Amino acid sequence: MTDNATWERFTPAQKLARFAVYLGAVSLFVVSLKTVEIIPEFLYDAPEQLQDLFARMWPVDYAAYHSEGIHQALVETLNIATLGTVLSLFMAVPVGLMAAKNITKIPVLNWFGTFILVSSRTVNSLVWAILFVAIFGPGALAGTIAIGFRSIGFCGKLLAEALEEVNEGPIEALKAAGAPWPSILIKGYWPQVAPAFWGIALFRWDINVRESSVIGLVGAGGIGVALDTALNLFRWQQVSLILLCIFTVVIIAEVLVTKIRQKII
């Protein structure tokens, strides 16, 4: 007995849905173009302006590395990233424990912990920096706290997910033996999530090195302050030096974190 049913790649409903998606995407693209308000004269002139900018940025003013305090600003950037990461871990651990459903079995607390994690990730690091500069004044303190608050959501969410994926066997064994809750947490959960925790910390530090280079543009300390000053004073050769320093530090941090993560994980 043969099957005479005709084969169709998509049903009429699926074809209509796909057409609606494509139409919506094209419509959004057209609306976005109108919103951006591209000025054709500036667009045509962009290659020449870019060439002129690179010409002004060359040669790189290497002498400004020490004389203009760029070295000190670069070290301050690394300090902001490191201290901000440590601060975020101290704050993210209790929030992550609260958000993990197998640790905290109270739905209200789970929801509150998730709310904190989402709130931290929703606000951009520059917005956090502007807020804390207004509170603490310009400088590295505002940048460190901004990096710390921005990182809570990232570290806490990944920690909560790691806690929820642990093997429950050792946990049940410790409970059956009558171990107190701190011992269960330290002996049962921590050995299983320790590699993930250190991996999260290193990965976030790598991200924070990049973000710490930017928040100085709003006065939160670090190399961004030196970059903003050089841009405002039209010192393009110093701008190229600062950009080169940022690029070098980011690459070194990326390689270093990758090597350490390979050893840990």
Q: What is the pLDDT of residue 120?
A: 85
Of 2-6, 23-27, 135-139, 185-189, least confident by mean pLDDT is: 2-6
Distance separating alpha carbons of residues 239 and 55, to the nearest angstrom: 12
Q: What is the pLDDT of residue 1?
A: 47
pLDDT digits (tens, 9 = 90+) for 117-175: 888 888 888 888 888 888 888 888 888 999 988 888 888 888 888 888 878 787 788 77
45: tokens are: 């002139």
Distance separating alpha carbons of residues 209 and 261, to the nearest angstrom: 17
Q: What's the one-letter identity of residue 220?
A: A
pTM of the model: 0.77
- Cβ-proximal residues to 130 (8 Å cutoff; 6+ apart), any chain: 218
3-state secondary structure the chain: CCCCCCCCCCCHHHHHHHHHHHHHHHHHHHHHHHHHCCCHHHHHHHHHHHHHHHHHHCCCCCCHHHHCCHHHHHHHHHHHHHHHHHHHHHHHHHHHHHHCCCCCCCHHHHHHHHHHHHHHHHCCHHHHHHHHHHHHCCCHHHHHHHHHHHHHHHHHHHHHHHHHCCCHHHHHHHHHCCCCHHHHHHHHHHHHHHHHHHHHHHHHHHHHHHHHCCHHHHCCCCHHHHHHHHHHCCCHHHHHHHHHHHHHHHHHHHHHHHHHHHHHC
Q: At what angle do helices 70-99 and 107-122 cross, to 10 degrees?
A: 160
Q: What is the pLDDT of residue 86?
A: 92
pLDDT above 70 as % of the chain: 93
31: tokens are: 């609306």
Distance separating alpha carbons of residues 224 and 219, to the nearest angstrom: 8
- Cβ-proximal residues to 190 (8 Å cutoff; 6+ apart), any chain: none
Task: Identify the band that residue 7 occupies on the pLDDT scale cut at 50, 70 and 90.
Answer: low
Task: Identify the band that residue 265 occupies on the pLDDT scale cut at 50, 70 and 90.
Answer: low
Of 21-30, 41-50, 162-171, least confident by mean pLDDT is: 41-50
Q: What is the pLDDT of residue 155?
A: 87
Q: What is the mean pLDDT of residues 41-67?
A: 76
Task: Identify the band that residue 8 occupies on the pLDDT scale cut at 50, 70 and 90.
Answer: low
pLDDT digits (tens, 9 = 90+) for 176-210: 777 788 888 888 778 888 888 888 888 888 888 88
Q: What is the mean pLDDT of residues 240-265?
A: 83
Q: What is the mean pLDDT of residues 91-97?
A: 88
Which is higher by pLDDT, 6 or 114?
114
Q: What is the pLDDT of residue 211?
A: 86
